[in-house]
Amino acid sequence: MKKKKKELNDAALEMIAGRFRLMSEPMRLKILHTLGEREMNVSDIVAATGANQANVSKHLGILYDAGVVTRRKEGLTVNYRVSDDTIFELCDVVCSRLKSQFDLRRFALSDL
């Protein structure tokens, strides 16, 4: 079976774009980075990020709906954990790219 040039339909594009949109908010990135590999409850995330509780809760809900984090209730608190490691993979790719782009610019300026 031959693999011809894939024609991405609009629904697929929308899904992919949505995934990127999920990662396009500094606050969400901050939460994900704060979480890292551990499990944390909302209050701790609020404290660690310094953000408003409602805001953190909203972002966690969005991440949860997208299947990026898991939720585990434990008494009064709710514990979250990153369940999708591709998140970090994406961030790594972006970070290295930004870094090298930055280095290039710095190099270009080094003659001045």
Partner DNA sequence: ACACTGTATTACTATACAGTAATATATGGT
Partner DNA sequence: ACCATATATTACTGTATAGTAATACAGTGT
Element (H, E) at 62: helix 53-65
What whole-number distance in Å separates Cα of residue 23 and Cα of residue 26? 8
* In the complex, minimum distance from the CB of residue 55 to a second copy, in angstroms, rounded to a whole number: 15
In sequence order, what are the beta bridge partners of 54?
A: none
Would you say 8 or 100 has its CB closer to DNA?
Answer: 8
Would you say 38 or 77 has its CB closer to a second copy?
Answer: 38
Residue 52 binds what, of DNA, a second copy, none (CB under 5 to 8 Å, by partner type)? Answer: DNA
Quick count: other Cβ atoms within 10 Å of Cβ 39?
A: 15
Residue 73 binds what, of a second copy, DNA, none (CB under 5 to 8 Å, by partner type)? Answer: DNA
Find the binding residues for a second copy in span 53-72 (CB under 8 A). 67
Q: Which of 61, 72, 98, 103 binds a second copy (CB under 8 A)?
A: 98
What whole-number distance in Å separates Cα of residue 103 and Cα of residue 107? 6
